[in-house]
């Protein structure tokens, strides 16, 4: 019903009993959550979302579930469970175990008993490898999510999200999202004023209009809750009990371009953090004004807000959705993402159509500052980076750095800058070039947890046969099939000393034919029978 009316769905698999668990009522055994997931995928494939596209879903499994290893690898073959994104729900205790290199418990959700243990670093490395291989699984940080769960006393922990991961939800809750196009709040339209970063950037943002827009958007989203048609009575009851809204943004990268501020700079992150804090304050204030005139959300009396007598109309106010398609319609950058490419195409949309896009600001500046050429435009249209071009000035390389030019650390730090003032999550994809290493993914996942993000998704260009957003020249990694044969990666912080020498400083290991081999340097050690 949800997908019939155009909605995506999030599924929490964590409460399903593991494969092989005894069923007392039938004297049989459980098929396990992976088989349930495959069934849900098949059913979803039969129902076009809103009559327009295949169903979109997110499946989340707690890392403590006994079937977690099967879940991590359930999408290792492209095409399987194709209409689900998958994410592992991890806790702070698990991440501490990863850092310490120790085991952690597996817990049967039916009995809540410990039924085994796994090496935390091994499990984490399997997640990292899967994400490097094809972008799956993502990761959601459950403890960070539930720090902002103000109704946990009444409804329990949040253990799942909406399909894009930006909106953690309780059972039967729904997301209600809207986005402000920040690019439209740049005061000047003259792109030729200066090539220097706008250190006085605050004077070039229309704060009055942004204030008014955020207030109207907050009221609009609250109105949607009452005007909406709900697929089931349960969804309506839960949605109206908490009245969560998700006001977010898009066009941030385009605003930075107009301010001549590089995305991958301290100033760029400061701007993002400041703007999100501003919108947070406005949305919170407007929700409090609504509470005075319309009443608090029904579950308020049992929420954490009641303890401080903070009266709000909405249990959550902010989130940042990816806005991939609507940002194209608005001709602006998506969500909090940097510009994906200066020329790119979006594939497999609107019944298989392909749309082409050229960054309007770059073309305008290239012509205005006399570094435009047909050869340059052809070069970037075929996936070339301006960072290697001598004919592109340095200021333009900084301002127009695209997703693939930006380090994984910078991607994560920008997400964290927005997360600080967002009571829900941030949907952001950490885009990697095709030649990114497994260690790059490892670093991004660790940093996202350390910086307080609520989730992380990475994607290495060309790691899937079918892609939604690609540079014009993106090719598949010729060695991908061989790389898929790797079973287990074991990152170590120090070289492994052995009689025959030592491994390199940044190894990844795989067990093959009774031998542990480093794919970085070729070092190997075989088991002795």
Catalytic residue among 83, 136, 149, 164: 164
Number of CB atoms found within 10 A of residue 294's CB? 14
Q: Which two tokens stand for residue 257?
A: 């371009």
For helices 408-419 and 266-294, angle between their N-to-C axes, nearest 10 degrees: 30
Confirm if 322 and 334 have CB atoms less than 8 A apart. yes
Q: Which two tokens stand for residue 494?
A: 């120090």
d(CA 475, CA 487): 24
Q: Assess whether 164 carries a catalytic annotation.
A: yes
Task: Please state whether beta strands 177-181 and 246-250 pair in parallel, antiparallel, or not at all (unpaired).
Answer: parallel
Task: Please state whether beta strands 168-169 and 160-161 pair in parallel, antiparallel, or not at all (unpaired).
Answer: antiparallel
State how far the alpha carbon of 314 is from the alpha carbons of 133, 222, 297, 413, in Å. 40, 8, 6, 28
Number of CB atoms found within 10 A of residue 266's CB? 10
E-state strands within 239-320: 246-250
Provide CB contacts within 8 A for 331, sequence distance 6+. 360
Reported as type and span, the H/E element at residue 354 is strand 353-358
Backbone angles phi, psi at 216, to 5 degrees: -65, -40
User: What SS3 class is residue 110?
Assistant: coil
Q: Indicate the DSSP class of residue 201.
A: G
Q: Assess whether 490 carries a catalytic annotation.
A: no
Q: Assess whether 162 carries a catalytic annotation.
A: yes
E-state strands within 386-519: 429-432, 455-460, 469-471, 497-498, 501-502, 509-512, 515-518
d(CA 415, CA 165): 13
Catalytic residue among 57, 162, 181, 314: 162
State how far the alpha carbon of 212 is from the alpha carbons of 180, 294, 323, 343, 448, in Å. 11, 20, 21, 34, 33
Q: Indicate the DSSP class of residue 205.
A: B
User: Residue 404's closest CA among 355, 343, 461, 472?
Assistant: 461
Catalytic residue among 166, 173, 286, 398: 166
User: Residue 362's closest CA among 340, 390, 345?
Assistant: 340
Q: Which two tokens stand for residue 274?
A: 């400041």
- Cα torsion angle, 512, 518, 524, 526, sign: negative
Q: Which residue numbers are catalytic? A: 162, 164, 166
């Amino acid at each position: 019903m949800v997908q019939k009316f155009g909605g995506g769905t999030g599924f929490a698999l964590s409460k399903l009993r593991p494969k092989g668990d005894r069923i007392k009522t039938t004297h049989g055994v459980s098929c396990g959550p992976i088989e349930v997931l495959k069934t849900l995928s098949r059913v979803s494939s039969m129902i076009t979302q809103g009559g327009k596209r295949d169903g979109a879903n997110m499946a989340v499994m707690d890392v403590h579930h006994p079937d977690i290893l099967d879940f991590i690898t359930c999408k290792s073959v492209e095409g399987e469970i194709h209409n689900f994104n998958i994410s592992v729900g991890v806790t702070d205790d698990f991440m501490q175990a990863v850092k310490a290199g120790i085991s952690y418990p597996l817990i049967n959700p039916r009995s809540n008993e410990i039924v085994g243990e796994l090496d935390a670093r091994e499990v984490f490395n399997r997640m990292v490898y899967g994400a490097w291989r094809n972008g799956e699984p993502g990761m959601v940080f459950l403890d960070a999510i539930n720090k902002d769960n103000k109704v946990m006393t009444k409804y329990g922990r949040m253990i799942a999200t909406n399909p894009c991961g930006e909106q953690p939800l309780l059972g039967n809750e729904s997301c209600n999202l809207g986005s402000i196009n920040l690019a439209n709040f740049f005061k000047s339209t003259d792109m030729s004023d200066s090539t220097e970063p706008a250190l006085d950037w605050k004077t070039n943002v229309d704060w009055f209009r942004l204030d008014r827009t955020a207030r109207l958007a907050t009221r609009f989203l609250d109105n949607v809750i009452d005007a909406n048609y709900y697929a089931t009575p349960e969804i309506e009851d839960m949605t109206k009990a908490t009245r969560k809204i998700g006001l977010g943004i898009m066009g941030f990268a385009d605003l930075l371009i107009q301010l001549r501020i590089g995305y991958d700079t301290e100033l760029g992150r400061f701007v993002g953090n400041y703007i999100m804090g501003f919108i947070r304050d406005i949305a919170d204030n407007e929700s409090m004004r609504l509470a005075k005139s319309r009443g608090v959300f029904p579950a308020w009396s049992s929420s954490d807000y009641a303890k401080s007598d903070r009266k709000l109309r909405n249990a959550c106010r902010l989130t940042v959705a990816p806005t991939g398609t609507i940002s194209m319609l608005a001709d602006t950058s998506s969500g909090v993402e940097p510009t994906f490419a200066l020329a790119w195409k979006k594939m497999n949309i609107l019944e298989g159509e392909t749309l082409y896009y050229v960054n309007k600001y770059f073309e305008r500046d290239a012509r205005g500052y006399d570094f435009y050429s047909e050869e340059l435009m052809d070069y970037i249209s075929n996936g070339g980076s301006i960072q290697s071009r001598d004919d592109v000035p340095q200021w333009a390389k900084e301002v127009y750095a695209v997703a693939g030019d930006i380090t994984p650390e910078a991607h994560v730090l920008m997400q964290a800058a927005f997360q600080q003032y967002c009571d829900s999550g941030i949907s952001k994809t950490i885009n990697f070039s095709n030649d990114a290493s497994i260690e790059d993914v490892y670093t991004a996942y660790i940093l996202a947890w350390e910086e307080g993000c609520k989730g992380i998704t990475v994607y290495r260009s060309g790691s899937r046969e079918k892609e939604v957003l690609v540079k014009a020249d993106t090719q598949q990694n010729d060695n991908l099939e061989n790389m898929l044969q790797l079973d287990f990666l074991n990152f170590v912080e120090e070289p492994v000393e052995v009689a025959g020498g030592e491994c390199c400083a940044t190894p990844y290991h795989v067990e093959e034919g009774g031998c542990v081999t480093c794919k970085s340097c070729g070092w190997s050690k075989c088991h002795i029978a």
